[in-house]
Structure 1
Amino acid sequence: MRMELPEHKKLVYETRFPVRWGDMDAMGHVNNSVYFRYMETARIDWMMQAGMPPAPTGDGPVIVNAFCNFYQQFAYPDVVRLKLYVSDPARTTFESWITMEKDEAPGVVCAAGGATVIWVDFLQHKATDLPQWVRELTAA
């Protein structure tokens, strides 16, 4: 079963990088936990570019759930192309979606996942309203 991305998603970031030898497990393919690192890398790179750097004494984004569906395996020396989409800004959250393709097979999704991002006041340890600029950035 393929994950369906919402129609109202917005592509905000794309990157590519090589699979490292150490990303693989004993079965000769990228370990399932590494896909979450790939998604994390794309998300944090986009957040840094968008002006959302980690700010432990202020407020900012935190992941409250994450998932990944696996369709085809990656292995060394594949090059992974990640596309990050956002959607559904709400009072305190927005959704992020990521597709992963082999660079040599554009359009063939090998894995897809996402995460719900919540805006948090780090000093108070609680959710707070998304800033208006983040709401606009994540609206399709």
Structure 2
Amino acid sequence: MRATYITDVSIWASEFTFSVPVTVRFSETDMYGHLNNTVAFTYFEYARIEFLKHAGLMNDWLNPEGSAIPVVADLQCDYVKQVFFDETLTIYVKVATIGNSSLDIHYMAKNEQDDIVITGRGSIVQIGRESGKSVHWTEKEKLHFTN
């Protein structure tokens, strides 16, 4: 594994507890039946949102009267193995580190043979809806990310 955010892949992989399944659609592949390289980011987005819903945060962020929203600050993807049309993948999500107003989130996709096929990481930052400035996580919010 060449991803710089992974020191020991077996330890790193064992720390994931949340996942969602996705099936590769025909429209997500190229003319050779391989997963298009942009689609992994869509899978990360889907898994991240489901993870944040599971953590109980999306309702506050989606509330039009809410004061804070999450924004993606950076996102990277590392392709480990080829992925093809009609494969079912399991997309895992975990919080690697919690900052004052940011999260470093890691992603892992496994195929049906339990092989890691895609890894990734990215940061989200909670900002004020009107100010655009970072908004610190509350202690209650931080607990959602560690459970």
- Bin the TM-score by the shorter chain: 0.7 to 0.9
Return closer, same or farther for 1:112/1:11 CA change in 2, 3 Å cut-off.
same
Superposition map of 1:57-72 within 5 A: 57-72=66-81
RMSD: 2.2
Instruction: List runs of 5+ in structure 2 lacking aligned partners.
Output: none
Q: Does 1:118 pair with 2:130?
A: no
Partners of 1:37 and 1:131 in 2: how far apart?
28
Q: Does 1:41 pair with 2:21?
A: no
Partners of 2:142 and 2:135 in 1: how far apart?
13
Return closer, same or farther for 1:5/1:14 CA change in 2, 3 Å cut-off.
farther
Name the % identity: 19
Return closer, same or farther for 1:112/1:40 CA change in 2, 3 Å cut-off.
same
Residue 5 of structure 1 deviates from its aligned partner by 6.0
| Residue-by-residue CA offset, 1:20-76 (whole Å, 9 max, x unaligned) | 111101232010100000000000011122222143542132210000000111111
Letter in 2 for 1:14: S
CA contact (8 A) 1:88 1:138 kept: no
Q: Of Structure 1 and Structure 2, which has the larger fraction of its residues in helix?
A: 2
CA contact (8 A) 1:10 1:87 kept: no
- The list of structure 1 runs, each at least 4 consecutive aligned residues, that deviate by more than 4 angstroms after superposition, is 5-10
The one of the two structures with greater contact order (alpha-carbon pairs below 8 A, sep at least 6) is 1
**Partner residue in 1 for 2:83:** 74
CA contact (8 A) 1:10 1:139 kept: no
Partners of 1:61 and 1:113 in 2: how far apart?
18
Instruction: List runs of 5+ in structure 1 lacking aligned partners.
Output: none
